Structure 1
Amino acid sequence: MNPFLSGLFSFLSLESALARKVLLTLLVVVLAVVARLLIYRYFDRRFDEESSAALRYRWHKISSYALTALAVFFVGSIWLQEVTGNLTTYLGLLSAGVAIALRDPLVNVAGWGYILWRRPFDLGDRIEIAGIKGDVIDKRIFAFTLMEVGNWVDAEQSTGRVMHVPNAYVFTNDIANYTQGFAFIWHEIPVVVTFESDWRKAKRLLEEIVARHAGPLVPEAGRQMRRATSRFMITAGALTPKVYTRVVDFGVQLTLRYLTGVRQRRGLEEAIWEEILDVFAEHPDIDLAYPTYRIYRPEGDREEA
């Protein structure tokens, strides 16, 4: 046979084999996408209530990961079915090159595995990592997503921003979890009264106020603390509200210390402050203090400003 025709037939044969692989790959991808849509629709119909949002999200993730793994397996079998001989050497060199070129994505994948295995946080937890605070709203193979709180907003309320954090951060940064094992945090409100005020009465009134607002949370906090002691090496101390006394430059500081829900801190503080202002207004022998300055004139006169 003419060498030119022989080469042409070989070229066409190669092209047809390549075309078959491309078509099969596209078919696998299309089937995976269609299957994903059908599975999502099934779970959306089955878990249509708002209370099942977390369960629906979890099944979406599981099905997505499973379909992706199956698609990768079938595509790999299509393209590697005719590879023989030095397959091990080829894959070894390829893996080394990929590991060097894709170091950061691979570390993110390792971080994803760590998050799933060790579970330093779950969906809905409020965490702080690398200076970013927020509620965990999504976990993906390369990054997890936070609904940011704090920053320029007081009392760690939501900023409205969505922050995408690489999974690799779990290996290089400390993680502070506000809600894991114990859904309460300690909060303090400093109240300063003048030296001339009846600070003992003020302290007694503050103890009554903080007990009314934060006291009902103590039983549930105690139950959660007892459960947490079985998981962590912690000692369950006193959880009841407390008022501490100290002297500062411009008065007597009475610090209210109490437990509050992670997301109720600002609302509870507002309620306590409003009652403090109302109660102190009824007692003329109690005055809130503020910093004052004394100016000394050269002739010895003193004026308070």
Structure 2
Amino acid sequence: MEHLYRIAEFIENYAGLTPAVQLKLVETLALLIAAYLAYVLLCRLMRWRVEDVGKRYVGRKTLTYAIGFFVLLILWRIWLGGQGLAAYFGILSAGLAVALRDPLSNLAAWLFITIRQPFTVGDRVAIGGHAGDVIDQRLFQFSLMEIGNWVQADQSTGRIIHIPNGKLFTDTICNYTQGFHFIWNEIPVMVTFESDWRRAKKILAKIAEAHTAIRSEYAAEQIRAAARKFLIFFEHLTPIVWTRVDESGVTLTIRYLTDPRRRRSSETEIWEEILSKFAECDDVDFAYPTRRFYNNAEEGKSGTRPRAPAP
């Protein structure tokens, strides 16, 4: 103990730090070391116990914020003794509410994201004209791996977008994957008026049935789980082909369920199969914008042809 007193006296004489300040510095250093060791230990425990990468990420983030919050509280007690805490926070909050309106809005939105979870890391969302996969969540912003923009069919652009959390309170957010993990995709196929459109429709229906996402039991269970959580109701979950007449031919639109991240790949597979199947048919052909002359007197139905003038 005598050596400690001498060390304290030496520091006071040459550094100007009183024994009380020296004690607070030692307590602060011990607190930071203990907090770091606790964080490392809990992270390792989480890595052993939690196999899901997404849950492990959220756990580390929550652990970081929780330990940081308690460290700040204890540091307050060490250096200020907790005196005037309520009055200080009252004055501070009034000033911060005006000066830091946007950061506080972002912080409130972070609490909303954490508790209500409109999205989590890994979800595909669209907000404020931007769309992408959520790759990070922080106190003041979240990050997206951008999709779309100049790249078609919801493919990744390679850019990372950082969006303030407060945007949740001002912009509409769309979640591609929460609850109902599938999206509807439509592929219009136009055939000529001379084609056997009924045969073409049967071919397209068979192709859509082979590529729909709800064939697996996993997909069916996801749909049932979404129906329990949200008021989601679809009259038909099986693929369907709709018929419409356009200027250049008969449009047959395939509508089917697909995984949001497989929209382009599934569309490619479907189109390749359509091209192969239609090539085998002599009475089905693709239509495209054309200009033609139609002589009703020669080509029209007998009941619609103009009558010859009476003698």
Displacement of 1:276 in angstroms is: 0.5
SS at match of 2:133: strand
Matches of 1:192 and 1:82, distance apart in 2: 75
Matches of 2:228 and 2:82, distance apart in 1: 55
Q: Quick one: structure 1 residues 32 and 148, their matched pair in 2 at CA, closer, same or farther if it must change by over 3 Å?
A: same
SS at match of 2:229: coil
Displacement of 1:217 in angstroms is: 2.6
Kept after mapping to 2: 8 A contact 1:217/1:259: no
Partner of 2:103: 105
Kept after mapping to 1: 8 A contact 2:214/2:257: no
Displacement of 1:115 in angstroms is: 0.9
Matches of 1:14 and 1:98, distance apart in 2: 33
Q: Of 265, 268, 271, which residue of structure 2 is paired with 1:267?
A: 265
Matches of 2:261 and 2:83, distance apart in 1: 57
Partner of 2:122: 124
Displacement of 1:274 in angstroms is: 0.6
Partner of 1:165: 163
1:279-294 correspondence runs (5 A):
279-293=277-291
Partner of 1:197: 195
Kept after mapping to 2: 8 A contact 1:218/1:239: no
Identity across matched positions, percent: 49
Stretches of structure 2 lacking an aligned partner (at least 5 in a row): 1-14, 294-311
SS at match of 2:91: helix
TM-score (norm 1): 0.81
- Deviating more after overlay: 182-191 vs 35-44: 35-44
Partner of 1:32: 35
Question: Runs (4+) of structure 1 moved beyond 6 Å?
Answer: 12-16
Displacement of 1:267 in angstroms is: 1.4
Kept after mapping to 2: 8 A contact 1:192/1:253: yes
Q: Quick one: structure 1 residues 99 and 64, their matched pair in 2 at CA, closer, same or farther if it must change by over 3 Å?
A: same
Question: How many residues get paired?
Answer: 280
Deviation string, structure 1 residues 28-70 (Cα, Å, up to 9, x no partner)? 44543454344434544x269xx53223223312321221011
Partner of 1:233: 231
Partner of 2:141: 143
- Deviating more after overlay: 73-82 vs 276-285: 73-82
Partner of 2:298: none
Displacement of 1:25 in angstroms is: 4.2
Kept after mapping to 2: 8 A contact 1:146/1:162: yes
TM-score (norm 2): 0.80
Partner of 1:182: 180
Kept after mapping to 2: 8 A contact 1:182/1:221: no
Partner of 1:71: 71
Kept after mapping to 2: 8 A contact 1:189/1:255: yes
Displacement of 1:247 in angstroms is: 1.1
SS at match of 2:238: coil
- Deviating more after overlay: 97-106 vs 32-41: 32-41
Displacement of 1:268 in angstroms is: 1.2
- Deviating more after overlay: 212-221 vs 141-150: 212-221
